[in-house]
A and B are shown apart, each in its own frame.
Chain A
Amino acid sequence: MYELFKNLGTWLTSGSQWTGTDGIAHRLAEHLQYSLLATLVAAAIGLPLGLLIGHTGKGAFVAINLASFGRALPTVGLVVLVFLAGGLSMLPVYVALVALAVPAIVTNTYAGMTAVDPDVKDAARGQGMRGHQVLFQVELPLALPLIMTGLRLALIQVVATATIAAYVSFGGLGRYVFDGLAQRDLVQVLGGAVLVAVVAVALDLLLSGLQRFLFRHRTA
């Protein structure tokens, strides 16, 4: 066991491991690229949907069911499905990651919108704000902390899951996990897993710190 961790330490810290196309720096960049792109696309779908449902109060069942659907969705299964239907490309990976991220974004956006004090919305309308002004000047800013939580959760989930890109022969930190498994190289598997975990936790800390800074004037 001790040996394993010692080797892991060497693997993570050796200079040669960090450079080149199979180096950690490059794989990390790939991993972040997949994750950010997938989360952005998911946000482009999930945010308008969540805002619309929250603002109109219509289609709440969509938001609620989407949450359980998202939890039940087998990510690897989805990758394989789209892969079989569409052939080998990054598309199956992105479809799976986006499908994973959308529910968290929609449900949190919706939750943020419904948590806005009805008196405040009433006052906004009563002062003469039109529908879009209530949405963008009052509801959206007030829902923003929860919306950001949704984006953060989505991104963390996507980062943790983006290893599947390697499953269908693409890059990212999952490369080490799948290659290591194939080569029975336990140190490499562990190294990949540790890197993914560290990236996920680091992003989480960074973003929650940012949230705390941005919303420092808000009450609980």
Chain B
Amino acid sequence: MIQFDAVHKRFPNGTTAVHDLTLDMPEGGVTVLVGSSGCGKTTTLRMINRMVEPTSGTIKVGGKDVTDQDAAALRRSIGYVIQQSGLFPHRTVLDNIATVPLLLGHGRRKARARAAELLETVGLTAEAGKRYPHQLSGGQQQRVGVARALAADPPVLLMDEPFGAVDPVVRTQLQDELLRLQKELSKTIVFVTHDVDEAVRLGDRIAIFRTGGHLVQCAPPAELLARPADDFVADFLGAERGLKLLSLKTLAAVPQGPAPEGDTWSLVCDETGRPLHWASQRTELPVRPLRDGDSLLAALDESLASPTGLVARVDAAGVLTGVSSRDDIHAHAGQAHADARVAA
């Protein structure tokens, strides 16, 4: 658990980066700090491992005031990932990952063994460990950055726009990986981003900051999207915030029926039962089958694209289990909004 209590940060040039911040970041959860540039979100993050010292107020990690601890020792106990990965260009990937274990005096052999283990954890090959950072792609470098932060198995992970510099496809992959890792490791993660979609995807709680270092609202994503505290938050979340809420709900609960046969359109499957396309007498249209774990937003999107308004549902193996109607999906979408309002 990370606790901010009445924390103020004023820089020597007179600008206030963080204004009277009181905020709890729950243990084992992902707290996303979001806001436009200059809102104090990065400063807030950097005060946790004392890369920036607060002007007043207290910050506690695991119940202990950070300013009472030796800064270097504190930082070794907290994972730290930054935007441009900040890898050491003169060290191999393996030695980069081994940094903190080496600083802790674990010995080169043990540190390297641990680093090799982590390569696999973040989805890199053992061969990548022998290379130098500049020989990797941007996405791979970020994976190494995450591995380096995890090397000493710290309970807390600070991530400052870690996926900000990679392309959207790789970014989505890295987000998926982080969610997968988090399921296994249950770290207390503080994640800074200016991307609302990223915040909604990753956050258990989202803290929205406004210029001048004011925290405006901190809430779980669904609550935030359903009940923004004020116009600033509503604007920041964007005009499609209703749709973003649907990205948090799966379509598992939406009823399904048998696929239509003998109508104008029929769903063509291959011999193993995997949907191939929609077919009429005259033409064929593509189908995007969805699994139970896919979002209501994806289902709504597909129901609009589908010529019948029906969404093909498949199991984990991709075999057709049935279809859901546009009306049912719409009804569940409405229900999701109603639930979120009640919960909030």
A125: contacting residue among B51, B83, B134, CB under 8 A? B51
Q: Using CB atoms, name the residue of chain A closest to B134.
A: A219
Q: Using CB atoms, name the residue of chain B closest to A217.
A: B132
Is there a chain A Cβ closer than 8 Å to B209's Cβ? no
Residues of A within 8 A of B103 (CB): 127-129, 133
Is there a chain B Cβ closer than 8 Å to A184's Cβ? no
Contacts A122-B51, A123-B82; A129 near B89 (Cβ below 8 A): no
Residues of B within 8 A of A141 (CB): 90
A127 to B76, CA, bound (A): 6
Is there a chain B Cβ closer than 8 Å to A120's Cβ? yes
Residues of A within 8 A of B314 (CB): none
Q: Using CB atoms, name the residue of chain A closest to B90.
A: A141
Residues of B within 8 A of A123 (CB): 80, 82, 85-88
Is there a chain A Cβ closer than 8 Å to B99's Cβ? yes
Residues of B within 8 A of A128 (CB): 72-77, 100, 103
Residues of A within 8 A of B134 (CB): 219
Is there a chain B Cβ closer than 8 Å to A130's Cβ? yes
Contact indicator per residue, chain B 59-98, by CB within 8 Å of chain A (1) or not (0) = 0000000000000111111001011111111100000000
A141 to B85, CA, bound (A): 19
B86: contacting residue among A122, A133, A218, CB under 8 A? A122
- Judge whether A138 and B86 touch: CB under 8 Å: no
Q: Using CB atoms, name the residue of chain B closest to A144.
A: B90
Q: Using CB atoms, name the residue of chain B closest to A140.
A: B90
Mark out the residues of chain A between 110 and 139 whose CB falls within 8 Å of any chain B CB in the assembled complex: 117, 119-120, 122-130, 133, 138
Contacts A119-B82, A129-B103, A130-B72; A124 near B51 (Cβ below 8 A): no
A119 to B83, CA, bound (A): 9
A125 to B85, CA, bound (A): 13
Is there a chain B Cβ closer than 8 Å to A95's Cβ? no
Is there a chain A Cβ closer than 8 Å to B244's Cβ? no
A219: contacting residue among B80, B82, B89, CB under 8 A? B89
For this complex, 10 residue pairs linking A to B, each with C-beta atoms less than 8 Å apart, are: A119-B83, A119-B85, A123-B86, A126-B51, A126-B80, A128-B103, A129-B103, A138-B88, A141-B90, A142-B90
